[in-house]
Amino acid sequence: MQQASSTEIQSAFQKTVQAFQEMKYPVTKNQLIDKAKSLNARSEVIQSIETIPDKEYHSASDVLKEFQGIQNVVQAFRDVKFPATKKQLVEEAKKLNARSEVIKTLEACPDREYNNFSDVIKECRGKSNW
């Protein structure tokens, strides 16, 4: 299975957010997940939606606010060479002056080697304030 680059993941987020703009609001997190699945969105996108707060969203901009943090993380780590350890990811985040929420989330992730950015999202989801 080919690993996705951060550019591919970023593009997938943008495509999904565009589709969310066409939805009739308000919507729930589960409706967003269903929409993403109907678009055959990348697993990273679906996993990211699963990490957002379970509440009712009143506009696409509400949803976008939740995604911006995740997109910023993807963008910040575009040059990280994988595999990378948790320590390397935290150091890179600090070097890039990432938001404190990103650093705290990475610090809360399991201390292991990550194969790619998708692996980081999967392992760290639920710990995130991205």
The predicted pLDDT at position 29 comes to 93
Give residue 1's pLDDT.
44
Q: Please report whether residue 130 resides in a domain.
A: no
The two structure tokens encoding residue 12: 């997938």
Number of domains in the chain: 1
CB-count exposure of residue 82 (10 Å: 0-12, 13-18, 19+): middle
- pLDDT per residue as tens, the chain (130 positions): 455 666 787 788 889 989 999 999 999 999 999 999 999 998 878 877 877 788 999 998 888 887 776 666 766 677 788 899 999 999 988 888 877 878 888 899 999 999 887 788 778 866 665 5
At residue 72, the pLDDT reads 67
Domain membership flag for residue 31: yes
What is the model's pLDDT at position 119? 83
Burial class (CB in 10 A: 0-12, 13-18, 19+), 1: exposed
**Domain-located, residue 129:** no
Is residue 75 one of the residues assigned to a domain? yes
Which strand (E) or helix (H) includes residue 114? strand 113-114
Q: Would you say residue 1 lies in a domain?
A: no
Query: CA angle, corner 52, sides to 61 and 100, nearest 5?
Result: 95
- Hey, what are 82's tokens? 């994988």
ω into residue 110 within 30 of 0, thus cis? no
Domain that holds residue 97: 6-124
Helices (H), the chain: 6-21, 29-38, 43-51, 60-76, 86-95, 100-108, 117-124
pTM score of the predicted model: 0.64
Within a domain: 107:
yes
